[in-house]
Amino acid sequence: MVRLSDLSEHEQAHLLAKTLPPMTPRQWVSPSKPLSQMRVALITTAGLHFRDEAGFSFLDASFRPIPNEADGAKLVMSHSSVNFDRSGFADDVNLVFPIDRFRELEQRGQIGSLGDVHYSFMGAGHTPDAYEQGAEQVAGLLKKDKVDAVFLTPV
Amino acid sequence: MTVSIALVRENAESLQPPRSLWVSFPLGRPLGVPNDAAFQHRVIDAALTLLGRERGPVLEDYDEDVPEIATESAPACPVTFPRDDSSWQNRLASELGTLQPWYQMGLSRRQGRTLVGVSDSSIHEIMRRLAEDLDNQQLPADLVWFKSAIEDAKAYYLEALTAQPGQYDQVELYQTLWHDTQFGAGLRRFYDQFAADEKLSGFAVIVLPREALGEKPDQEIQNEN
């Protein structure tokens, strides 16, 4: 178990330096259908991509698409931060990008469907405003894919 | 609609995303436990439940921690890392040779899955070029290559050190990587060189983690020249 209070003082200070005020304008969408009818996509900030794609650079607010039918086990990581564990991700892609779990939810009918494409950003170095352009682009792509809900994972 | 996993509660509390589930898991493990589908499903279910909320922002605490790993039950480190004061070329080549069978075993255990391959260089080429820079006491000329190369090398070492099945204590694992290996000593050398360079000091942060520096802030790493 890890809580902020379990970490060293310098690690706490670094993470608390990322406490930013609420993003504006505030966004809220109320549910219009049950989860079992929702189309869901995944977005991660873990810097994931396939081996034959360009890795993320030192400071990089771009994103990579991850086709829903792709083999998640072939994803690699080029995240600039070295301050988190990667051995778990080496064992199981679902620890960071739970694509197999969501396929199981789809098969069980607990969600309606999965989007055609999921997305990966690399969350390090930049403040959130640097990702605005890419996030707007991804939001447009998700809308075209008729995605209702997005499940976001940090790393 | 969005629902997010939050690893640092204080960050989510201040940023106030619409729907967020805080988990107490270690950084790098937002779903908690690798290869435990039931555990991961419980986390996902708790998060997806928040999509049904009519008002927000919502920040809820997930009430299950990852299981503690008993030190005695974790697999032993498969390799002994001896002192070596020869050239970096010799040190890193020797270490790579020792780790190679364990990396292959890890590859087999993970059904061929590996995180190595972000760069377009083989692991032997990576270690040769890193050693060349270390022996010449120079910073890498190609920083794009260097970033991907050390990512590959770290992945290679971690996968070799965790070749045997079982749950590993992450703190001990990274202690071994940063403080016991010649590669870790080499990274410390690169870190110091970047940190001392007026133009490239910002690059040092991708070489070694804060925890590795914080534990021995004023000490030379063993085997340093």
The Cα–Cα gap between A83 and B209 comes to: 5
Q: Is B48 an interface residue toward A (CB < 8 Å)?
A: yes
Among the listed ranges A15-29, A107-121, B83-97, which one has the minimum average pLDDT value? A15-29
Cβ–Cβ gap A31/B1 under 8 Å: yes
Average pLDDT over residues A134-146: 97
Q: Which residues of B touch A103 (CB under 8 A)?
A: none
For helices B143-161 and B182-195, give the axis angle rounded to 10 degrees. 150
Cβ–Cβ gap A155/B27 under 8 Å: yes
Task: Please state the pTM of the whole predicted model.
Answer: 0.90
pLDDT at A23: 80
pLDDT at B128: 98
pLDDT at B99: 96
Among the listed ranges A10-19, A109-118, B9-18, B133-142, which one has the minimum average pLDDT value? A10-19
Predicted ipTM > 0.90: yes
The Cα–Cα gap between A134 and A140 comes to: 10
Report chain B's C-alpha Rg in angstroms.
20
Cβ-based neighbour number of residue B122 at 10 Å: 12
Phi, psi of A99 (to 5 degrees): -65, -40
Q: Which is higher by pLDDT, B65 or A126?
A: B65
Close Cβ partners of B76 (under 8 Å, ≥ 6 residues apart)? none
A:B CB pairs within 8 Å:
213
The Cα–Cα gap between A149 and B2 comes to: 5
pLDDT at A15: 78
Cβ–Cβ gap B4/A101 under 8 Å: no
Strand boundaries in chain A, DSSP class E: 39-44, 48-50, 63-67, 75-77, 113-114, 117-121, 149-153
Q: How far is B89 from chain A (nearest CA, A)?
A: 24
pLDDT at B214: 65
Q: How far is A43 from chain B (nearest CA, A)?
A: 9
The Cα–Cα gap between B146 and B120 comes to: 11
Across the interface, which of A10, A77, A94 has its CB nearest the CB of B31? A94
Q: Which residues of B touch A92 (CB under 8 A)?
A: 34-35
Q: Which residues of B touch A3 (CB under 8 A)?
A: 9, 24
Query: Which pLDDT band holds residue A108 (cuts at 50, 70, 90)?
Result: very high
Vertex A122: Cα angle to A121 and A124 (nearest 5): 140
Interface of A with B in 31-90 (CB under 8 A): 31, 35, 38, 51, 55, 57-58, 73-74, 76-78, 80-90
Cβ–Cβ gap A89/B34 under 8 Å: yes
The Cα–Cα gap between B87 and B97 comes to: 15
Statement: residue A2 has pLDDT above 70: no
Q: Which is higher by pLDDT, B74 or A129?
A: A129
Q: How far is A129 from chain B (nearest CA, A)?
A: 12
pLDDT at B151: 95
Average pLDDT over residues A13-40: 88
* Exposed e or buried b per residue across B153-179, where buried means at least 16 C-beta atoms within 10 angstroms of its C-beta: bbbbbbbbbbbeeebbebeebbebbbb
Cβ–Cβ gap B151/A78 under 8 Å: yes
A58: its two tokens? 């030192």
Q: How far is A23 from chain B (nearest CA, A)?
A: 6
Cβ–Cβ gap B35/A150 under 8 Å: no
Q: Which is higher by pLDDT, A20 or B177?
A: B177
Q: Could you list the pLDDT tens digit for every one of the 225 residues in chain B?
A: 999 999 999 989 999 999 999 999 999 999 999 999 999 999 999 999 999 999 999 999 999 999 887 777 778 788 888 777 899 999 999 999 999 999 999 999 999 999 999 999 999 999 999 999 999 999 999 999 999 999 999 999 999 999 999 888 888 899 999 999 999 999 999 999 999 999 999 899 899 987 788 644 333 333 333
Statement: residue A3 has pLDDT above 80: no
